[in-house]
Chain A
Amino acid sequence: MIRDALVWCLAVVAALGVAAAVVLSRRAKAIAANKDRSEAALTQRLSEADGRLATLRAELHQHRTDHAKTIQEAEEAAEDSTKAVLKGSARFLQSLAAEQLALLEEIQRKYGGHTVLGDLLEVGHANAQMARKAQGIAVMCGAPLGRRSRAASVYDVVRSAQGQIRNFRRVEIMQQTGLALKASAVSPVALAVAELLDNAASFSQQGSPIEVTFQRVQKNLCIVIDDAGVGMNDEERQKATALLSGQYRPRLSQLGNQPKFGFPVIGLLSQQYGFRVDVTGVSRYGGVRAVVLLPEELWTEEETAPVNEVQPVVEQPGAPAARPEPVARTAGGLPRRGARQVPIASVPDQDTVGLPHVAAGEDAGRAAGRSLGAFQRGTLSGRNLSAAPSEGSDDT
């Protein structure tokens, strides 16, 4: 009886267990199916979201590009308009400074014998510095440089540059060469050298020398500028090289409050006129060695006459207006000059005064009066009387 009951119980339990298992497995399947469905749905939504994100990203990128472009365009427009405004003013200043230099030279000639000349020379120095600045600004704004119509010795070009900086007496040009720069290269090289000299003077101690030498390296002519300054570190060297080669052109607005446009100006000039400038060397004093390398297109080996030698004296001894050069010596070993027909205005004749033994002529000249004209008349008349015979002992 009890066993039967137990068997039944067991059977019931087993049946219940089987039923439960079946139910559970069904539920599990249903849950799994559910899960699959929701997962699929989620994946789809995720991919949708991803798609939207990518679109938005692309749009954002587009906007950013547009933004940058607009800003760049605006900056360029601002730069261009700034340059245009500055260029007009710079050209005005440039031509005014050039005019003033020419005018001042005329005045210096006019008052050459007056004590005011000393002050005029100083004004000339200030003016030359101003002209350099005006030229620099003009170059930065894309205006052309004032040009020279005559070739000049490289020595004179460096002297021209020397005159354009404040402490120009610190510059020592150690040698002279017969090499000349072609007319087209005179202005740009002078300005580039002036900027290098100014840089050398600014970054070295007051009073320390700045030495300029010339070297011929293969087909190039080098102007070498050595200063006794502190030199540059690697970063400064890299920056300077980028500026000088013209690779990096800073905007006007990037030049700052105390604009340093020396190197950018040199960079522009060297690209325009085809020379190279390098400042990475070390000078013999441990400062910077700047080298301007001029290719053979820019210079010649011809010797040029000094600028102010308008009328070469030695080459035309027979010209009536020129003073005849001493061609012979008197019996006493003193220099004697040839006879002159036409007296040079305002330049007194010193033939007889230079010879102590023609005292009669000398005294006659002095007695004739204080003015130079009278002096000259007296000398001439004195020579007619006594100088000619006294010199004539070895005359042919």
Chain B
Amino acid sequence: MSDEPEEDLELTSALVPFFVITNGRSLPPEHAYGHTTLVSASEHAATTVRTLTPEARQVLDLVMDGFLSVAEVAAHTHLPLGVVRILLAEMEDANLIIARKPVPRAERVDREVLNAVLDGLRARFGA
């Protein structure tokens, strides 16, 4: 029926697509889990490791011994940042990890205020 030699089709895409890894969940809100947000495993995370997907387990292994930034987690797992963020959001919902947001800009001390303080000290002590 077929005369031409049938060359095999090689499937190069990942066996498990990303949307299965995220189980179809949507991205967390934009401000959550930014590049510099720090995540670490919570205390009772180790007990639930067996029931996790391989990817979630890999993330948990990375943050088991201390805080790691979201960007670093993404780099080490070779997963897209968004996929990692979805995983992290799910894991935080399950109380497996704790996330520490970077200090927002507004809370930082204004340079002008510091200058004013410095001026005040100079005026007071005459440095």
Contacts and interface: CB of A to CB of B under 8 A. Distances in A.
A150 B103 CA distance: 44
A392 interface: no
A323 B108 contact: no
A347 B12 contact: no
B78 A310 contact: yes
B115 to A, nearest CB: 14
Given A112-B83, A146-B10, A306 B1 contact: no
Nearest to B27: A118
B53 to A, nearest CB: 8
A308 B24 contact: no
A143 B18 CA distance: 28
A97 B58 CA distance: 30
Contacts of B8: 144, 146-147
Interface residues of A, number: 72
Nearest to A375: B36
Interface in A264-320: 306-311, 313-314
Interface string A72-106: 00000000100110010001001100100110110
Which of B16, B22, B65, B66: most chain A CB closer than 10 A?
B16
Nearest to A142: B1
Contacts of A309: 58, 77-78
B14 interface: yes
A128 interface: yes
B66 A146 contact: no
Interface string B51-93: 0001100100110011111011011111111110000000000
A121 B15 contact: no
B20 interface: yes
Interface of A: 80, 83-84, 87, 91, 94-95, 98, 101-102, 104-105, 108-109, 111-115, 117-118, 121-122, 124-125, 128, 142-150, 152, 155-157, 159-160, 162-163, 168-169, 176, 186-187, 190, 306-311, 313-314, 323, 325-326, 334-335, 344, 346-348, 350, 353-354, 366, 372, 375
27 contacts: A98-B12, A101-B11, A105-B14, A105-B18, A112-B81, A112-B82, A113-B80, A114-B82, A115-B30, A115-B82, A121-B19, A121-B22, A125-B17, A128-B19, A142-B1, A144-B6, A144-B9, A146-B10, A159-B15, A163-B16, A306-B55, A306-B58, A309-B78, A323-B76, A325-B65, A346-B71, A353-B38
Given A115-B82, A125-B17, A156-B15, 18 more contacts: A91-B9, A98-B12, A101-B13, A108-B80, A115-B27, A117-B82, A124-B19, A142-B2, A144-B9, A152-B15, A169-B23, A306-B55, A311-B78, A334-B66, A335-B65, A346-B75, A353-B38, A354-B67
